[in-house]
Amino acid sequence: MKAVVVYESIWGNTAAVARAIAEGIGPEARALSTAEATPDVVADATLIVAGAPIQGFSLPNDRMRAGIRTDTVPAPDLSTPTLRSWLEHLPAGNGRSAAFDTKIRWSPGSAASVIDRELARAGYAPAVKAEHFIVAGQTGPLKDGELERARQWGTTLAAIAG
């Protein structure tokens, strides 16, 4: 199995979840930003896991990106493409997939449902139900226990999709 865990992350919370999921999947998995996960890197993946923060109750878009304040602590990383744009350019494949997002507990909406749909459109059929990981506020931190839950989700995923 070749697994890639691709993420969009402004303050590092979704990136940390992605790394924990990759750890849970095993040594054959790599966590990569949307900039690092170039088409040649994902070309022969048998499992693509993709995750992003929920913004505006959905998968972030360029308009949401443009509105993000740059004076937060920690500073936002706005240098990588949105996952939405990455998914639009994902070449067709035929592996399995899984989607996750990070969100504030009370929020409605989902980024993961859009991710699931776009991965399926590219030929990567969802292997499991999407998962959601909770942050305390806009810049984080992740709620206690979420990284462990992400690791376990990765392990479960590998057992199902491996």
Ligand X SMILES: Cc1cc2nc3c(=O)[nH]c(=O)nc-3n(C[C@H](O)[C@H](O)[C@H](O)COP(=O)(O)O)c2cc1C
Q: Which is nearer to ligand X, 13 or 97 (CB)?
A: 13
Closest approach of ligand X to the CB of residue 48, in Å = 18
CA distance 31 to 33: 7
Cis status, amide bond into 81, omega within 30 of 0 = no
Q: Which is nearer to ligand X, 19 or 96 (CB)?
A: 19
Please, what is the Cα angle at 27 between 151 and 19, to 5 degrees?
Answer: 40
- Asked if 113 interacts with ligand X (CB under 6 A), we say no
- Asked if 55 interacts with ligand X (CB under 6 A), we say yes
Q: Which is nearer to ligand X, 80 or 95 (CB)?
A: 80
Q: What is the DSSP letter of 55?
A: B
Residue of 78, 107, 120, 160 interacting with ligand X (CB under 6 A): 107
- Asked if 140 interacts with ligand X (CB under 6 A), we say yes
Q: Which is nearer to ligand X, 24 or 93 (CB)?
A: 24
Closest approach of ligand X to the CB of residue 67, in Å = 6
Backbone phi, psi, residue 35, to 5°: -75, -35
- Asked if 103 interacts with ligand X (CB under 6 A), we say yes
Residue of 135, 147, 157, 158 interacting with ligand X (CB under 6 A): 135
| Buried b or exposed e, range 14-51, using 16+ CB within 10 angstroms | bbbbbbbbbbbbeeebbbbbbeebeeeebeebbbbbbb
